[in-house]
Chains A and B, each alone.
Chain A
Amino acid sequence: MRWRPSPEALRLALPVMALAALLVSVFVMRPNVMGYNGLHLLFKLGIPIALATLAQMVIMSVNDLDLSMGSFVSFVACVTATWLVDAPLIGALMLAGAIAVYAALGMVIAARGLPSIVVTLGMSFVWAGLAVLVLPTPGGTAPGWVAAVMGARPALMPVGIAGSILIAVLAHLLIMRSSFGVLIRGVGGNERSVSRAGWSVLLARGAAYATAATFAVASGITLVGLMTSADANIALRYTLLSIAGVILGGGEFTGGRVSAIGAVVGALTLLLAGSFLTFLNVPPDWQIGAQGMILILILALRLLLVRLERRGARA
């Protein structure tokens, strides 16, 4: 039998190639980026975006969608820049409470069969309101330890790249390799057979939402570490960016088909696409549209790959 790459490997190859292509284009246009400092600036925001994308990926692995991701990360950032500095214990309790709210939301969605899109859309206004209450005007400071971690300069590669790799590996172990990950992806794949095997889908959904919230909290904290201050709208773009990153990384909206490494690569690709367009001197007004075109282009390539996959399965 001839060796054939697995469908998962093929799916992952596309975002990796897209990232490489963008990186090479950026290097060609701005050769001086090709150093430690250049890469540091290019991938500086990689960690929070990767974490938010992973959070969205966990929600998507149980066939749901979180439209409150951006406002939730903003809320976390506001708490981080204020309470976590002034009264670390209360701040930590607030963040733990937010995670518990997410878990409860997941269980309510499972128990009542509610559409997650509607629930999270409603919650996005709640989180946005809470963020304004916590931090009415932009400001605050990053907790010292967060700023220290995010400002570190590791020897081999910038913190944005090293952190992204570390996060991707940890998320891969949790979501793709552990029993827990199998359970939540199983809920996305075939909820009925999971419950027939004696699992509680209610608890599984709750745990998935809590895991997602944990990633999102980490995203908000690291974001403040990079920006050194916060405001209530700091991460609103993360909602759509995180969904796009998951899809770009080989995930699907339904069926529990996700890839943790793919999601991180997808998030970095979107991040790099922004810089790429700036280097091309695309005016900011056109950048979002151009970013959308890049996304469509990559997804069109993905359709081609899916066809290859089908042909492979038939042979």
Chain B
Amino acid sequence: MTATPLLSVTDARVRFGEVRALDGVTLAIRQGECIGLVGHNGAGKSTIVNVINGGLTPQEGQIAADGAPLMHWSVTEARARGLRCVFQELSLCPNLTVTENTRLMHRGSLGGWGWRGRARAVISAALDTVFPGHGINPAATVGALSIAQRQMVEIAMAFSDAGIAPRVVILDEPTSSLDAGLAAQLLDHVRRFVGQGGAVILVSHILGEILNTATRIVVMKDGRIAAERPARAFDTAGLVAAMGSTAKAQARGTQGGRDAAEVLRLTLPRGLPFVARKGEVIGLAGLGGHGQTEALVALFEAASPAWWPARDPAVTFVAGDRRLNGTFDLWSILRNMSVASLPDLARRGLVQAGAEAARGAEWKDRIGIRTPDMGLSILSLSGGNQQKVLFARALSTRAPVVLMDDPMRGVDIGTKQEVYDIIRAEAAGGRTFVWYSTEMDEMTLCDRVYVFRDGIIAADLSGDAISEHAILAASFAGAA
């Protein structure tokens, strides 16, 4: 721990308008350590990550690399020193192949005749090292890959070596789209990489990953470092306490019953049929990418007319990939929220500004959107708060069924608890929720769980039969 830090940030301060995103953060990254970075949404994790990777210059504070203070720190400089970053939202070019993306990521070191062969070798080697048996063809267009495969490519890209070896790799929620097996492969590789003298900053909301992988854990809160200790000095409860939210035990209430009215039905070509009843919270479980999202989209399309919107919407949708199909980036928070229920807020075709603002204020309080003004741009919010706006958009409609496509991706525990409570309250009021999630904890909150495997429903669990063991058993072929 006495070695010169590879990279250090001293007393960094960043303000976005009125918001203090970083309020004096000092962080040093040394060889052979994996720093686990945890905190609420809006605690400053993404901001410090952006400062470290050169994407953001702090208004105050110094950055030093290999012990020498730097006057000028930029993305180019950071990359030249072997710093790599995997961002929370996927950032490959979907129109290019994996090989072509590799060429772009290694700007100065792959050019010239025959770059395709070199780029293919570089990315194949990295994929084979991080995710043995990945089955990804480097000639495939990224847009044609599944979201998990895209994340695998992006992670492998960060660990790939084309002249400048990676020394510090920042992983921001790297496992959010990976299933358990792939996540384990990645974390194994992180340990290996750190063991060989590399350094990793791991941002994750899955505390188990942090506790098992990191050597040192940094807890952030309100733009400051709230706690910084070796990983073995923490346990889950301690981490949650340091983040400032309390882990509540969730009581499962079985509101919807087998005898309630059926509101949705989807017959899949094979496997068990999908049935949803009034007031039920239905979980879609299973390994990532086994047909859950497709089932949600099929449910949505089956229940909503294609040509003309119905006066009374039957279903509403909460997107998981909010950049792709969630937020309107140029609109205000209020507009983003009210867009799904404009007919309810309109009289004679004109939106009533007063009614819209009142609806916005109601949901701002109810779901706890942390903003001084609903008129600000949606992008002024942190990721978790943006997701809350999408929830408010869906819940403020009159649709009796809410479809949710892994909506809690990258959302902090405090926010989750608040949303869980709202879901339970709405379900008690007779709403039906169909909820795809990659997190086991969320499945135990459901009244009933359909476990997907290879695109079909492999199991239908309800009540006390919902357990981690039962879901895992149904997720893996031959395990049941």
Contact = CB atoms under 8 A, between A and B. Distances in A.
B79 A198 contact: yes
Interface in A185-204: 185-186, 188-190, 192-199
Contacts of A193: 91-93, 104
Q: Is the interface on chain A under 10, 10 to 19, 20 to 34, or 35 or more residues?
A: 20 to 34
Interface of A: 7-8, 177, 179, 182-183, 185-186, 188-190, 192-199, 255-257, 313-314
A290 B103 CA distance: 44
B76 A198 contact: yes
Contacts of A196: 55, 75, 85, 87, 91
Which among A7, A194, A196 has the highest number of chain B CB atoms within 10 Å? A196
Contacts of A192: 91
Interface in B49-105: 55, 75-76, 79, 85, 87, 91-96, 100-101, 103-105
Contacts of A8: 141
Interface of B: 55, 75-76, 79, 85, 87, 91-96, 100-101, 103-108, 110-111, 115-116, 141, 144, 294
Contact of B100 (A186, A198, A257): A186
A312 to B, nearest CB: 8
Contact of A189 (B94, B103, B105, B116): B94
Contacts of B96: 182, 185-186, 189, 256
Nearest to B104: A186
Contacts of A186: 93, 96, 100-101, 104
Contacts of B76: 198
A194 B76 CA distance: 11
Contact of B94 (A190, A197, A199, A314): A190
A186 B141 CA distance: 12
A192 B104 CA distance: 12
Contact of B95 (A188, A198, A313, A314): A188
A182 B95 contact: no
A28 B144 CA distance: 40
Nearest to B94: A189
Contacts of B79: 197-198
A186 B99 CA distance: 12
Contact of A197 (B100, B105, B111): B105
Nearest to B154: A193
Contacts of B110: 179
Contact of A195 (B75, B87, B111, B116): B75
28 contacts: A7-B144, A8-B141, A179-B110, A182-B96, A182-B103, A183-B104, A185-B95, A185-B96, A185-B100, A186-B93, A186-B104, A189-B93, A189-B94, A189-B95, A190-B94, A193-B92, A193-B104, A194-B93, A194-B104, A196-B75, A196-B87, A196-B91, A198-B76, A198-B107, A198-B108, A199-B107, A256-B96, A313-B144
Nearest to A179: B111
Contacts of A194: 93, 104
Given A182-B104, A256-B95, 15 more contacts: A179-B111, A183-B104, A186-B101, A186-B104, A190-B93, A192-B91, A193-B93, A196-B87, A197-B106, A197-B107, A198-B79, A198-B107, A199-B104, A256-B93, A313-B144
Contacts of B95: 185, 188-189, 255-257
A191 to B, nearest CB: 9
B93 A198 contact: no
A193 B103 CA distance: 12
A185 B93 contact: yes
